[in-house]
Amino acid sequence: MDANLWVSGVVYGLSMGSIFFLLAAGLSLCFGLMRIISLDQLLYYSLGAYVAYQVNVATGLTWPAMVCGALAAGALSWVVERWVFDRIYAREITFTMITSFGILVAGVGAIKYVWGLVPRPMGIPVEAQVALLGVNVPVYRIIVIGVALAVYGLIQWVLNRTIVGTAIRAAVEDVDQVEGLGVDVYRLFTGTFVGAGMLSGLAGALHGPLVMVDPQMGLEVVPFVFMVVIIGGLGSLKGTLVSAFLVGQVVSLGSLIYAPLAQMAPFAAMLLILLWKPTGLYGSALLRR
């Protein structure tokens, strides 16, 4: 196979994995701290894409539109956390998962009502290409990869170098002891949830120029996001990054080898990894709450 296709495939896989990481990071953070499976993050992903599209159409500015998409997703996640999740944190994990899925489905219906069913194209902010190993690749995909790595570095800095991050890490280990020290853990929950929502909105805004903005786009990535979280290990941010790039490469390179592999290979990879390590690449046993 042509080497040019392989280079393009790797870059495509890394950019796809970057989107998966931004989406799955929110789920991983929510599970790690609050022990909830927040499927509604996929709603914030769709909302971020649509708000970015709408602002881009109205102003012609793409980068500010993406910021607006992330902020709108964060605002909606704050409303959902305050009005829904704040009341059910103590419930079983299956209850919160079903509730979040209901929010996702209802939100997709609202998006269809506001924007309709027709997919919308969003302009690419950077149309230039750059030579990489003699192959021209889109600069925008390189930027997407850089944003994902920057977000990973920022989250790690917050978790390991700030007082808030220390409180979050301690709450992951034992929320009762942290609460006994006088820390308002529910404020940590709110901040983490809103941050996760903004990451999901950013993922949608960044992905918009690479695909058609579609009401179903959140539902379409559910299997891949679940695979990323499961392969990396529930609650592990490092595992989420590694598995996101792994899944992105499996989808991208698999489609070059044999098109049906793009859908089948990630599931096979997940099965093999779980047979080798049931908790995922960087996962650990469920921590006590």
Strand partners, 165: none
Question: Model confidence over 35-67: pLDDT tens digits?
Answer: 888 899 999 999 999 999 999 999 989 999 999
Q: What is the residue-level pLDDT of the chain in tens, covering all 289 positions?
A: 567 788 888 899 999 999 999 999 988 888 877 888 889 999 999 999 999 999 999 998 999 999 999 999 999 999 999 999 988 888 888 899 999 999 999 999 999 999 999 999 998 888 888 888 778 889 999 999 999 999 999 999 998 888 888 888 777 767 777 777 677 788 888 999 999 999 999 999 999 999 989 999 988 888 888 889 888 887 788 889 999 999 999 888 877 777 776 777 778 888 888 888 887 888 655 444 4
Please give the radius of gyration of the chain, using alpha carbons only, rounded to the nearest integer: 19
Domain-wise residue ranges, the chain: 3-220
Query: What are residue 278's phi and psi, to 5 degrees?
Result: -60, -25
Rounded to two decimals, the pTM is 0.90
